[in-house]
Amino acid sequence: MNRLVIDVADGEYAVTRLDPGSSVPSGLFSGAGLVSVTSTAAEVSVVCPTAAAPEDGRTEAGWRLLTVRGPLEFTLTGIMAALAGALAQAGVPLFALSTFDTDHLLVRDADLDRAVAALREAGHEIA
């Protein structure tokens, strides 16, 4: 695995679960930062800055966002496995998601220092 450059975003993120078929709040996409909405038959999940989290769902706040600098080619393999493996060895839980260009990890704010240390120890650069 090549060395990856990982950016740590400022601010706190939240993961919110909404009931299936729920609409997301208007204006959710107008703020800065990562916003991801995933809909399945069982739920709608929203990842966003904590201040923008929907109020009518079950929210887990206190996450920090780490983003692999991209874009990453779709032919690359093992990126998420390498990152998740390094964090697992350090005992750091994560919430992972990917976008067209790159991969993102959310770790609890209380685990951020351990996560950064584990990723550095695995040979990645933290910016």
The domain that holds 115 is classified in CATH as 3.30.2130.10
**Interatomic CA distance for residues 48 and 63, integer angstroms:** 10
Q: Supply 94's token pair.
A: 């994560």
* Cβ-proximal residues to 106 (8 Å cutoff; 6+ apart), any chain: 13, 15, 47, 63, 64, 65, 66, 94, 95, 96, 97
Mean of all residue pLDDT scores within the chain = 94
The pLDDT of residue 26 is 85
Residue 24, CA atoms < 13 Å, CB-side half-sphere: 20
Domain boundaries, position 75: 5-126
Number of domains in the chain: 1
Convert the pLDDT of each residue in 53-104 to its tens digit. Answer: 999 999 999 999 999 999 888 888 889 999 999 999 999 999 999 999 999 9
Closest CA to 60 of 17, 119, 123, 121: 17
The pLDDT of residue 71 is 87
The pLDDT of residue 2 is 77
**Interatomic CA distance for residues 31 and 70, integer angstroms:** 21
Q: In the chain, what is the straight-line distance between the N-terminal and C-terminal CA atoms, in Å? A: 18
